[in-house]
Amino acid sequence: MVDAVVFWSCTVIYLGVTFVLAYMGYKKTKHGEDFLLAGRSVPSWIIGLSYGSTFISTSAIVGFGGVAAQLGLGIIWLTVLCIGVGVIIAFLFYGRRVRRLGQGMKAMTFPDFLGKRFKSPFLQYSTSFLILVSMPLYSSAVLIGGSRFLQTTLGIQYESALLSFAIITAIYVVFGGLLAVLYTDAFQGFVMLLGLSAIMILTWLLFGGVDASNIALANLVTDPGVPAGLSSKGMTGWTSFPSFGSEIWFTMVTTIIMGVGIGVLAQPQLTVRFMTAKSTKSLNRAVPVGAIFIGLSTAVAFTVGALSNVYFYDNLGKLSTQVAGNNVDLIIPMFINASMPDIIVVLFMLTLLAAAMSTLSSLFHTMGSAAGHDLWCYIGPSRLVPEKYRLCKEKEYKSTLKGNRVGTGIMIVVSVALAFVMPDSIIARATAMFMGLCAAAFLPMFTYGIFAKNPSAFAAKVSLVMGALSWFLWTVFVHIKESSVLGICKFFFNKDALLGSPYTVIDPLVIAMPISIIALIVAWALDPARKAAKAVQETA
């Protein structure tokens, strides 16, 4: 157990700094637009750190670190994709166009951007709806990840840990808006960099250096050997990639690496970061900060996760998954608690707190803006709502502080409730599901929208609907990891999945995204409005 004085001193300092920064954000938040976009003049280093710390959550550290302990270092490819796609393509190709278009259209949220770009209220509402339905899954996974570590480290009740997390984060998001989120994200990013760097160095020292660590990890293949349940599914060792085409290969490549690595491009909470930049110069300057942060944090989590096997096997004669009772989410916390000095355990706890809070605050803010700006601010003034309950005046489509704060508060409650009922070992899966849905439903039409000169709203609508629908059907009726838990397939067809192997382990993203792209192309070709415009042009 960690020394109470050390723990509380560090925690009070951490929370004190967080609340001071949040207060600074609160003081500068005067209008709905401040709440949503932080005045569109955020410094580059804050954008980079905030983008990174929002992207890297407890799910990435605890959940995927645990997956690395179970399946080995092949997951490092996810880090490569996070930098290649999540930073290079995201900032250099998507970011600068999103910033310029968003500023030109005065768009304030991701759904608002799509609605204005395609001149389609349907796209704004449906995107908001998808965010409100799917994002609580991710935010709950983040909450669970952080709470599990507090439970293990402090020996407190899981429920108390979860509620404390949610309430502290809720206070500064609801009152401080995006400025509070960005300021605290940047500070939390620093804490994460410090904590993870220390853990990586100490882990290598524990095993006698980089080479010795990896050789010891590689040697686990012969003694004790890969567990029979994993080797029969394609696992070849902890320092080698799974057998091509095997069940674990499909899970590793399609769900973990592609699902998360590609899904990052169309995540609403990250896209908004581009719209807060004052200029393209700010985005360029944010690139190195984001890359260093994302590369370091994920690589450390995955490498340390895999190496935890060496520690547990040397000391307890068991592999990490066996020590954690097959709950991969517990592996990283248990390794840190067992192997590191007290001060590092505290630093790691703050790192996880920081990771959870930075991601959570952004998710809360994005869900709140989808509810308070994109849905309420447009539906609220309509006749659907009794006059005395209307937050905005008729036809006054301005975002109100009150509307956004109420929306954020409601979505926080939903996330916390969901966290209480979600099953164990869900962290990495829920994260991959959310990112997979983002990629399937949003990415094709979002990409089309920012790169096409006169994008077709019809094509975007068809792509969104087909992407979301095919992702949902594959998740519910074919992808066994989800379909067996959801039980809908079982209810209708008396079996867990409608198709057999290997389809049951192919991620919904791999099926749904191509369908979404094909739907976009076909709908674009058939779009009556586009054809009519072309005919008019040719006549003229």
Partner 1 sequence: MSIFGGKRVFGIDDPWIIAAYVLLFGSTAACVIYGIWKWNEEEEAD
Question: Which residues sit at the interface with partner 1, rule CB under 8 A?
Answer: 73-74, 76-77, 79-80, 83-84, 87-88, 92, 96-97, 210-215, 217-218, 237, 239-241, 279-281, 284-292, 295, 299
Which of 399, 393, 394 shows the shortest CA–CA distance to 375? 399
Question: Is residue 141 a contact partner of residue 260, using CB atoms and an 8 Å limit?
Answer: no
Residues contacting 95, CB < 8 A, separation 6+? 274, 277, 283
CA gyration radius, the chain: 23
Residue 74 sits at the vertex; the CA angle it makes with 71 and 75, to the nearest 5 degrees, is 80
Q: Least CB distance from residue 48 to partner 1, whole Å?
A: 9
Nearer to partner 1, 165 or 302 (CB): 302
Q: Does a cis peptide bond (omega within 30 degrees of 0) precede residue 386?
A: no
Q: Least CB distance from residue 246 to partner 1, whole Å?
A: 14
Q: Least CB distance from residue 262 to partner 1, whole Å?
A: 16
How is 441-508 classified by DSSP, letter by letter? IIHHHHHHHHH-SS--HHHHHHHHHHHHHHHHHHHHHT-HHHHHHH-HHHHHHSSS-SS-TTGGGS-H
Question: Is residue 280 a contact partner of residue 42, using CB atoms and an 8 Å limit?
Answer: no
Nearer to partner 1, 63 or 261 (CB): 261
Nearer to partner 1, 72 or 381 (CB): 72
Rounded distance, CA 442 to CA 467, Å?
8
Orientation of helix 401-421 relative to helix 342-369, angle to 10°: 120
Nearer to partner 1, 43 or 409 (CB): 43
Q: Least CB distance from residue 53 to partner 1, whole Å?
A: 17
Nearer to partner 1, 40 or 365 (CB): 40
Nearer to partner 1, 451 or 492 (CB): 451
Q: Least CB distance from residue 240 to partner 1, whole Å?
A: 4
Q: Least CB distance from residue 278 to partner 1, whole Å?
A: 10
The Cα-based distances of 90 to 186, 225, 273, 299 in angstroms read: 19, 40, 11, 19
Nearer to partner 1, 218 or 469 (CB): 218
Question: Is residue 340 a contact partner of residue 311, using CB atoms and an 8 Å limit?
Answer: no
Q: Least CB distance from residue 284 to partner 1, whole Å?
A: 4
Residue type, 443: L
Question: Is residue 3 a contact partner of residue 10, using CB atoms and an 8 Å limit?
Answer: no
Nearer to partner 1, 72 or 436 (CB): 72
Q: Least CB distance from residue 334 to partner 1, whole Å?
A: 24
Nearer to partner 1, 172 or 204 (CB): 204
Nearer to partner 1, 171 or 215 (CB): 215
Q: Least CB distance from residue 97 to partner 1, whole Å?
A: 7
Angular region, 226: left φ>0, alpha ψ -120 to 50, beta rest? beta
Q: What are phi and psi for residue 288, nearest 5 degrees?
A: -60, -40
Q: What are phi and psi for residue 277, nearest 5 degrees?
A: -75, 145
Residues 163-181, buried b or exposed e (16+ Cβ, 10 A)? bebbebbbebbbbbbbbbb
Q: Least CB distance from residue 71 to partner 1, whole Å?
A: 12
